[in-house]
Amino acid sequence: MGLQFVSRAAILAVLFTTAGRAQDAVSRHDLQAKMDYCKTCHGSSGQGFRAYYSIPRLAGQQPEYLTNQLQAFSERRRTNNIMFNVAHVLTPAMQKALVTDFHELNPKPLGGAPKDLVTAGKKIYEEGIPSADIPPCASCHGPDAKGNEQFPRLAGQLHDYIFNKLTNWSKERGQKPGEPDVSAIMEPIAHGLTEPQVKAVAAYVSYLE
């Protein structure tokens, strides 16, 4: 009787575990459909889309950063009604599959930024602005601007998107001051940069692959 009980318990455990995994799994068909939906705004290869409001590149982005931002949209800590509608209905499994697939994409940058700003932008990115207490961008985003875990990739990002985000930081981020995320580290930096400096850094990173 004891062995039979153990065997039945083991079988039930396997069945429940398998059922749970089946519920958590995302089919390739469903994932592709969701990726295609995302790409209607973010570009055919996730490279971003330049329009009246530029839509960011997701290709090659750090999975942890994308996950954090989807959570921020869902919890309205980052303001964007379209992305709220997208983010809050994603299952954890679909969210993980999406950020993994976008991370693995690597199209060429769209470019288009004024190239005469690149040299100045490179200097700010690598050295910061000591007189304004602005640290080097590379200290968090990496020397190649590909990001690291919770710090986003900037390489290849649309220059006008970066400019709009940094110059409007407080209007979109930190909507719940009592629940800050890692992006709060950027608030004093965004406020400390002048618009010409933001344009220069944005131009520099937009050409990086």
Summarize pLDDT for 112-125 with one digit per residue, the tens.
999 999 999 999 99
Percentage of residues of the chain with pLDDT beyond 90: 73
Share of the chain above pLDDT 70, in %: 86
Separation of alpha carbons 92 and 22, rounded Å: 13
pLDDT in tens, 49-81: 998 889 999 999 999 999 999 999 998 888 889
Tokens 């973010």, located at residue? 42
Report yes or no on 14 lying in a domain.
no
Classify residue 51: in a domain, yes or no. yes
Report the pLDDT value the prediction gives residue 25, as an integer from 0 to 100.
Answer: 83
Burial annotation 43-61 (CB, 10 A radius, 16+ → b, else e): beebbbbeeeebbbbbbbb
At 160, the amino acid letter reads D
In a domain, 184, yes or no: yes
CA atoms within 13 A on the CB side of 53: 5
Task: Count how many domains the chain has.
Answer: 1
Instruction: Identify whether 202 is part of a domain.
Output: yes
Instruction: Residue 74: name the closest of 95, 55, 54, 56 by CA.
Output: 95
Q: What CATH number corresponds to the domain at position 89?
A: 1.10.760.10
DSSP H helices in 25-143: 28-42, 63-74, 81-87, 92-104, 118-127, 138-141
- Which helix (DSSP H) or strand (DSSP E) does residue 102 occupy? helix 92-104
Using 50 as the pLDDT threshold, list the residues of the chain that sit under it.
1-23
Write out the residue range of the structural domain in which residue 50 sits: 24-206
Please check whether residue 13 lies inside any domain of the structure.
no
